[in-house]
Amino acid sequence: MRRDVFQAIADPNRRQILSLLASNPLNLNSVAEQFDISRPAVSKHIRILTECGLVVIKQTGRERYCYADLKPLKEVSDWTEKYQAFWTKKLDALEVFLDKGKKTTRKKK
C-alpha cells in the first residue's frame, strides 16, 4: 500500500525520525533509542515512512539501515507554495492598513 506523503508528516514522531535520518542513516535500534515510545511503535512509524517513499531501508550485514529520501517532500512544498503567495498578499495588505492607522492616529494628536 502506497501512503500519502502528507500522512507521513502529519505525525510529530515521523517528522522527528525524518530529521534524524536527514543528517545520516541509522540502524533501526539507533532510531528507536531516540524516542520514549516502544520499539514496535517506532517500527510502525518507519514502515509508514517507507510506504510513503520517505525512508529506504537497506540491509548491511545483519543490520538494517534507514536512509531518508526527502524528494517526495517536494509535493508538500509545491502544495504550500500556492498558499504562500496568497498569505503574503494578505499580510502585505494588513501591513498597509496598519501603517495607515498609525499615520491617522499621529495626525489626531
pTM value?
0.74
Q: Domain check: are 58 and 87 in the same one? A: no
Reply yes or no on whether the pLDDT at 11 is more than 90: yes
Q: Once rounded to an integer, what is the mean pLDDT over residues 44-65?
A: 94
pLDDT for the residue numbered 82? 86
Q: Domain check: are 29 and 62 in the same one? A: yes
Domain extent at residue 34: 5-69
Strand order in the sheet with 63-68: 26-27, 63-68, 55-60
pLDDT for the residue numbered 27? 94
Q: Once rounded to an integer, what is the mean pLDDT over residues 59-74?
A: 93
- Count of structural domains within the chain: 2
Q: Once rounded to an integer, what is the mean pLDDT over residues 6-33?
A: 94
Cell matching residue 76: 508538500
- Would you say 86 and 18 are in contact if contact means Cβ atoms under 8 Å apart? no
Q: Domain check: are 43 and 89 in the same one? A: no
Round the average pLDDT of the chain to a whole number and report it. Answer: 90
